[in-house]
Structure 1
């Protein structure tokens, strides 16, 4: 206590307080001067260190000396227990104290707004726009840093399941005077994220804030400071820190805080979200590009009302995936893009509710579309176990089992799915195809008739009927129906592709080319233009390397131009996913069964040992199909291809004669199929192709008479 009293008498505490106040102001001033005069980045640190060194020196001087009315004098010369300086200036003590309190309050506020802030977790946000971060640096070249950081933050935010991030705002320019209300109305977002980037030397400061677009109120803000050594690492670190804090800041409130019991609809807001979910799911069942777009809109609105509605996230993942282009999807979006859009929603659904059957089901569907059938089976089985009445999970499990040629396990899943939801369009179409392949064609047509009454004019039903006519080698009737379907959905690539294939089967290559939007390789091959087919196949594969159909078409083209090594390289990843007559190399159409393309390529390079298991796998595939009661003319054509690649010309020709007599979609490939190369010098083969060409010419004449050659 005596020491404290002596410090007071010698004014050491008073001087220290004043020194801290003045020092703090000097630090703030230095921070501004560094930017204004382009001083080195270590200038701030230098000022801070010097002030730190000066504090103990100042306190020692205050202990040893004292300012008196007579001037500066040693403290020991003053009267004991009395300070000359303390008596007349008590007001200064209070000013110093107030200044210290203000500084402490400011430092606390600043600390709360910096990296240590965890957010209050009270904002409910389903959609936002990210405005370009403003470049406050003096150097114009730093504009690239702000753009890169903006893009990285936007990309990371899109991976937060349930949060819609508007992409169009990237075209806006950073502007402090932007009309946020107009931006919110234009992009239909309740909040926007904007900020600024400032670099001085090796120091980078990023400020970010969330703003309510309607009220103009700042909802969240934070300042991030980083030393710059590796700019890419710093950008990655900053974007992760910003997004993590936003994730915490927009955690939706608990039900007792206003969301209500969504499962029972006790809260009106939650009931509205559930209603929108039901609307979205109903649109999903129609399986058209228009209905999928409508479903996504409804589901976005549901998630804007309740970002934690896990079933809406799962439905959104399904909708985005079904927008992909392919035989088992229904849209026009490249498959890779569709998968990229779907994955975050599937992940978010399971993050919210790990036990959600719909979440496991759609996650399995994504794996199936990506070519990972075994992973899909595991997830889909889990979905069925958790919710046995989830018919679409059983449908997708049927497709996954079929992809692995596990038909004994696949068929019961389809049958049970149909029992649960006989009016479901996707399930009905698969059941109709299943019945037709088992030669129960009357039942298949009856089912299509019933679905047509439920979904009048649905383009998928028109496509299914066209496929049925083509299967029965009624290409003229199929073309008539598919032309009508095309008028209903001219943007549907599947319809155009089926029309192209139907014309190609008749040898009308010029007309076929009109209908192929992409993938005209089969036309080029049929025209003897293998080099042109390869150029196009390479281009399409480069655009969609994860799309199996692009890879298989490229392998066919590589083999056709005499580059078997190229075909082997393209198909190698799919060989790793296939074995024992199961996997993506099997179960394709007869002209492009990739296992046989790969076997032909391996034989061409002298790898007989590598070709043998592929041929045996193809035999196993056909045997399992036939054991389950499936039969189709293209199965006989596969027999011919396998025999030709195995070196049994007699058996190959016998099967080929039988297949050609029955006709089937893809029959045009007989003339150029690389798997049949060993037969082309046989007179019997040349006569067979000539007879087939004559039959197709007769049908082309009929098409001309009906005005269907050149029809639009």
Structure 2
């Protein structure tokens, strides 16, 4: 039987068919991705090829190629059979196709590769859905892919804030790559129909504008987290980045959610980024109720509560911080590798003055996601408040490198430089922050303070005026800081107006006592300032995390009451 199979070239036909089918699938894959055809077309081609194999084998058994054409094998006289000649021709075809396959494989893996790729940016994915309201969902997909890639050690991933700078841009990809200082760019599109999502991605070498990889995926909403890990793994393989075992396992694990829970999580993240905390909290809570095992939803709850009890301080810390802690710890129990949950827990520990625990969480978050610039800025703020300015500057520079179009990164680094005594360097970073975001009230305040320090009161005035006009919309912490500046430039009436306003508001809403103390300190009413600082200590106001380093309190620093507060807060040695 085996000898007859050989005589009729059945084995040769198997080899020829398999090699030819592989080449067809390679060509089909490229055409499907370039033309953005549905994923099912590739599956259809594979199915047809699989069906064709037994048909080809049956034909090769019953039919033979003769000089006169194709004939039934039983009708060919033994003396007229040319199966040996046909076999050699098939051998030649198989060898030729194998050579083509080897050349294609070698070209794909080695010859076409340029210098190694060590940095990427995920450009804003295009929204191909019929509903323009789905834009927030598409942006969420961009954020998620960025976050997944950022977990890869050794790969520098540009922050979504800076990547979003190129939304709807007409700049060429090599120009974008130069501006972001990256080797490669990822672009693509998202199309959502109900609970089904189609994502098409392309990896482009930004130095040569050469397409390196492309693929389309179709999944349900509940499988998107798993898909994004799969995509990040595929891109890492393409650019030949070695994954650490923990990272590889994290990207490969299955992470499914209820479809509606994922959608609500995306909505929550959208509102969190725009500081719409009430809407964010509502979306995250609904997501957690739809899927009680969804760690990302609990991390979102923790982040939102931490914001509400932080510098934004619209809620009492003793109310929101325990809620934030419970959510963060639950998120970590569900997913110990969730970086944003660790960063949130680090921030909570900082506000609760658990300094060692805070640093441990910030370090863990940074190890899990070294390109998370929001987490890095939280860590920078912590290190600066602890008097470790050199470390803060080093991490702050990394954050700026990853997020070059974010005013917040420049402002945070500028503050670390200021606390290190490098005022001129700090001033340059405030200027850059305002170039990127002229409405950044924190950068406005730092610019005003810098000019006041130089004695340039007239130059400081426009920045203070901009803040005054926005007081209705910005955190009350900024009102206290503005009142402090008014006092030290001699605008006592303006300072007292702010003070009266803060005191009146405190009667009906939560206004951190430290904001009132700031104004009294500027007015040099140190007894009143210390009295309110003692209230702030009892309230555990978030601004007190800076008490040991903040130079605005220098007029009170030698007072035993001030030193007593510092002692009770138990700040570590720098």
Q: For the superposition of Structure 1 and Structure 2, which TM-score range results when normalised by the shorter chain?
A: 0.3 to 0.5
Q: TM-score, normalised by structure 1?
A: 0.38
Q: TM-score, normalised by structure 2?
A: 0.47
> Which of structures 1 and 2 has the larger relative contact order (alpha carbons within 8 angstroms, sep 6+)?
2
Q: Which structure's CA Rg is the greater one?
A: 1
